[in-house]
Amino acid sequence: MIRTEEMKLNFGPHHPSTHGVYRAVFTLEGEYITHCVNHLGYLHRGIEKLAESKTYNQFIPYNGRLDYVSGMMNEAAYVQAVEELMGISDQIPERAQYIRVIMSELQRIASHLVFYASMALDMAGSTPWFYGFRDRDRILDLFEMAAGNRMMPNYMRIGGVAADLNEEFLPTLRKLLDDMPKCIEEYNGILTGNEIFQARTIGVAPLSGEKALNYGMSGPSARASGIDYDLRRDEPYGIYDRFKFNVPVTQNGDTFDRYLVRLLEIEESVRILEQAYRDLSEGPVMAKVPKVIKPPAGEIFYRIEHSKGHFGFHIVSDGSNKPYRLRIYSPCFVNVAPFEEMAVGLHMQDAIATFASLDIILGEIDR
């Protein structure tokens, strides 16, 4: 390689490929990255401290502003953490439990579709964007039927869910589930099997399982490196122990595998949704909980298998109607850390594809 003068290049925070307001500083030797430094904090809104000034119920809507393409899952994690703290997790009505699973798995699919569409667009592939957002929009239609909102649902409640499903919801869900196998076939036909996409992702920025563990990574990015761990299966919460599904795991840990695991997870979410649709029973959707939530003094750390990885809440209660302390465990914050190492040695365009494969959302990182 012919040596040239080193150059510093800012990747973000305004660049659309940074998926929010993330910034990295690349040191370039020609077209190769020799050093990378992550810079975070441009979106910091102090949500954790806001939580300590809000009642437990008042904080529910703020969760949709964290990972803003996975609002249902953020809310589910929070209300389930409070229920565990109160000792009422076994009192949640069965229908509400099934509805939570339905909403969470729909949200997982919607999140992965944003990943699919955005990664393709980052690599100058505009057509997959339309396919991904076409089907995500159908999921947001379902959220609107149930919650009245699309991206910021405010649907989960301490004790259950805000309202029962209306008469349109289940027939619309049934139609979506019937169409998803054909949709998944289209996703794979357009992008997964594309030889240009494969050439730009296979073998690019591999991360070993050992390094992924050392960084504390979780979720699809970790499973792409061979870490066979999913909280829904290995530490079941809610009613996930009732469902049969596979946990997609690959071994190469490269940009292609991080993409592929998420596509395979869409198939498994459809499988879970089919079971939840079949077994959904009639009944109430809210437990009898006090109007003013006052968990006993104590603390809890509760986490779920989020679309991005392990997402959790550490809540300390002093017995009042507001959290004494609340901290959020963000999988995106952890999963972006290895990028400093992964980017070294890559071309600029390969770094963009690699960054996209980590699927981060800055609203969750900066909180």
DSSP state of 162: S
Task: Please report whether residue 72 resides in a domain.
Answer: yes
Asked whether residue 1 is domain-assigned, the answer is no
Dihedral angle at the C-alpha atoms of 339, 342, 348, 354, nearest 10 degrees?
A: -70
The answer to whether position 2 is within a domain reads no
pLDDT for 15 equals 77
How much is the pLDDT for 122? 87
pLDDT in tens, 244-292: 999 999 999 999 999 999 999 999 999 999 999 999 999 999 999 999 9
Domain residues for 202? 7-366
The CATH number of residue 197's host domain is 1.10.645.10
Question: What integer best gives the mean pLDDT of the chain?
Answer: 92
Q: Which residues are CB-neighbours of 162 under 8 A, at least 6 positions away?
A: 147, 154, 155, 156
CB 184 within 8 A of CB 267: yes
54, part of any domain: yes
Res. 1 pLDDT band, cuts 50 70 90: low
Is 63 within the bounds of a domain? yes
Is 129 within the bounds of a domain? yes
Number of domains in the chain: 1
Q: Is 36 helix (H, G, I), strand (E, B) or coil?
A: strand
Question: What ranges make up the beta strands (E) of the chain?
Answer: 7-11, 23-29, 32-39, 156-157, 160-161, 298-305, 310-317, 325-329
Full-model pTM: 0.93
Give domain status of residue 43, yes or no.
yes
Summarize pLDDT for 313-327 with one digit per residue, the tens.
999 999 999 999 999
